Chain A
C-alpha cells in the first residue's frame, strides 16, 4: 500500500496532500460513526467512485483491497458468530470503505507531498520537533518496509533451503542480525550523503 503512487492528472491528483489527509481523517471518523449498513454501503460506493475519478485501473484497486479482504475472510465469520451477521456486514463495509479511501489517497499522492504536509502540520506544534528531520525519518521508515520484507523473505528461504523447520528464534535471530547490519550500512551511507549536519 505504501509507496504505490500512480501518476495522473485527475482532480484528486491535483488536490493538495494536506486537504486529502484531513479529508481522509474526517471521512474515517464519519464512517466509524455511521449507524446503518446501507449508509456504509453508500460510503463504500463513493470511495470506489473516487477510484474512477482518479482513473485508477480496476486491477490496481483490486491489488490494494485484496489484503483487507483476506483479513475480513477470517474476521467477518468470527464477528458474525459473536455479534450476529448484521454486525459482521457493517464491520466489513466499514473497514473496506476506510481502507479504500486510504488507498485512494496513497495512489493519488506522492510520498514526498504527504511528507511535506505532515511537516507543515508539525510546524503548528512549534519548534520542539524539527519538521524537516521528522519528515526524513518518516520517509526512511517507509523505505525500510520493503527492505525488512526482503530480509525476512531471504531468512525464511535460507531456512527452507536447509530443511530446518522449528523455533521462532531460528528466524528472529538472523532477521535481527541482518536488520542491524542494514541499519549500520544505511547510517554510514547517510553520513556519506551529507545527512550528518
Chain B
C-alpha cells in the first residue's frame, strides 16, 4: 500500500478557509470520504495529487511532497473527476485511453496492447473507434477510469464519480471501482458504497469530524445531518 500523509494542512481560496489544520495518515486499501456539499471534500481529493497545493502544511505521497513533485505524484495517483466529459480530451475512445500513455513513452506495439487490455476490461472494446461524445454517461465514466488505469497508478482518487449517473450506471461504475487492485480514495454521496471500506472520513466545514470504520463514520454523518 502507498501512504498518503497530510501534515497540518490548511487550504484557503481567496482568503476563505476551506480546509483547516488537517492531519492524516492514509494507508488503507479502501478509503471513503463523505460530507455535505461545500465541506471541502474535493479540495482534500485534489491535494492528494497536487492539483491544488496547500496554503499551509504539507501533503506527502510515499514521502514525495505533492507541491514540489507534482508530476511524479500524478504518475502514482490517478484522478477520476465527477464529469467525465471534462476528463475525456481525445475524440475517440481508443485515442483517449492512448493519450494517458503519452508520458510513459512506450513503443507503439506495447502501448497498443495496453490500451486494448484496458478497453477490454471495462467493456469498451467494441466501442473503441466510437466518438467519445456518443457514449452513454456510464460508458463515459468507464472510459475515464480506463484512461486512468492504463497508466497503472498505485492510487486512484475519485471525486464523486457516480454523482451525474442514474442508479443503474452508478452501480455499474461502482462495481468496477470495487474490483480495482489499486488503493482507492473515493469521495461519494452514496453512503452504501463505502459500507465495506476499510476507513471512512467525514468532512464538515473544512475539518475531519469523524474518522473510523464505515459504521462509525456513517453513523456520525447521519447524526450531523439530522
Contact = CB atoms under 8 A, between A and B. Distances in A.
Interface of A: 2-5, 7, 110-112, 136, 139-140, 142-143, 146-147, 150, 182, 185-186, 188-197
Contacts of B147: 193
Contacts of B151: 194
A191 B51 contact: yes
Contacts of B74: 191-192, 194
B51 A192 contact: yes
A182 to B, nearest CB: 6
Contact of A143 (B78, B81, B103, B132): B132
Contacts of B94: 112
> Would you list the 3 A-B pairs with minimal beta carbon distance, nearest first?
A146-B133, A185-B86, A3-B131
B88 to A, nearest CB: 7
A36 B222 CA distance: 79
Interface of B: 49, 51, 70-71, 74-75, 78-79, 81, 83, 85-92, 94-95, 98-100, 102-103, 129, 131-133, 147-148, 151
A163 B129 CA distance: 40
A190 B129 contact: no
Contact of B92 (A5, A191, A192, A196): A5
B91 A194 contact: no
B91 A143 contact: yes
A110 B100 contact: no
Nearest to B101: A194
Nearest to A193: B100
Given A188-B51, A192-B79, A111 B91 contact: yes
A151 to B, nearest CB: 10
B113 to A, nearest CB: 16
Contact of B71 (A4, A7, A188, A197): A197
A7 B90 contact: no
29 contacts: A2-B91, A3-B92, A3-B131, A3-B133, A5-B92, A5-B129, A111-B92, A139-B89, A139-B95, A143-B89, A143-B91, A146-B131, A147-B85, A147-B133, A182-B86, A185-B86, A186-B87, A188-B51, A189-B81, A191-B74, A192-B79, A192-B81, A193-B100, A193-B148, A194-B100, A194-B103, A195-B89, A195-B103, A197-B103
> Of B74, B83, B89, B148, which is in contact with the most chain A CB atoms at under 10 Å from its CB?
B89
A144 B35 CA distance: 33
Which of B49, B94, B95, B148 has the most CB atoms of chain A within a 10 A radius of its CB?
A: B95
Nearest to B90: A139
Contacts of A147: 85, 133
A189 B86 contact: yes
A112 B89 contact: no
A142 B71 contact: no
Given A3-B133, A143-B90, A147-B133, A185 B95 contact: no
A144 to B, nearest CB: 9
Nearest to B85: A147
A197 B132 CA distance: 25
A186 B86 contact: yes
A137 B76 CA distance: 25
A196 to B, nearest CB: 7
Given A146-B133, A186-B86, A191-B51, 5 more contacts: A112-B95, A136-B99, A189-B87, A194-B71, A194-B100
